[in-house]
Amino acid sequence: MDLQWGSVPDWVAAVGTPTALIALLVETWQSRRQRAVETELADARQASETKHRRELQVASVAAWASDGDVKGARYRNVSAVVDNASDMAVYDVIVRLEAAGTVTVEEKHVHIVPPRTRYETEAWLAVLLGDETPSVEVELTDSHGIRWTRRNGAFEEITGTAAAND
């Protein structure tokens, strides 16, 4: 019995075809993996940009307590200031003043603070002279309808809260 080994082209075809198929499968797998990573990075970048755009307006709104007139010899009146440095109005603003060492919170409602406007409430909270100035918290709805709270310079989106009603 005579064994036929075939020709060189037969051997090249026999070895080259499976090798080419394996290389094709590996390349396809690597390409899909790279595309998935690129998609994930693009989604993360877009989410970050969206978050930045959403927070841009509320980051431009500040609030603080302002000392008013001295009332008698022992008290001073305090008002709240809301500064909207953004290019869009904020709506349904609730300003809360909390005197140091108390749990009593006084609040005022402002329907709208126009863009690039500083709004000061009338002085309404009497604080003992020598006491710390009350802390201020502001709750607002931005021009996109998102409800936020801002306290001590930090802001947080309020999820599932309806706009303030007066």
Give 40's pLDDT tier (boundaries 50, 70, 90).
very high
Partners of 138 in the β-ladder: 95, 150
Q: What is the pTM of this model?
A: 0.62
Are the C-beta atoms of 117 and 84 separated by less than 8 Å? yes
Q: What percent of the chain has a predicted confidence (pLDDT) above 70?
A: 81
Cα gap 98→120, rounded to integer Å: 16
The tens digit of pLDDT for each residue in 57-108 reads 888 998 888 876 666 667 777 788 999 999 999 999 999 887 666 655 678 8
Asked whether residue 8 carries a pLDDT value surpassing 60, the answer given is yes
For range 124-147, the mean pLDDT: 79
Measure the CA–CA gap between 87 and 60, rounded to whole angstroms.
9
Per-residue confidence (pLDDT) for residue 59, from 0 to 100? 87
User: Residue 10 carries which side chain, given as an amino acid letter?
Assistant: D
Q: What is the pLDDT of residue 75?
A: 73
Q: Which residue is it, tokens 């999820």?
A: 159
CATH 1.10.3120, applies to 60-157 = no
Distance from the Cα of residue 76 to its chain's centroid:
36
> In sequence order, which residues have a C-beta less than 8 Å from that of residue 89 and are 6 or more positions away?
112, 113, 114, 115, 143
Task: Identify the H or E element spanning 155.
Answer: strand 154-157
Could you tell me how many helices (H) and strands (E) the chain has, helices first? 1, 9
Give phi and psi for 102, each to the nearest 5.
-125, 165
Question: What is the DSSP annotation of 70-135?
Answer: EETTTEEEEEEEEEE-SSS-EEEEEEEEE-TT---EEEEEEEEE-TTEEEEPPP-EEEETTSPPPE
pLDDT confidence bin for 165, thresholds 50/70/90: very low
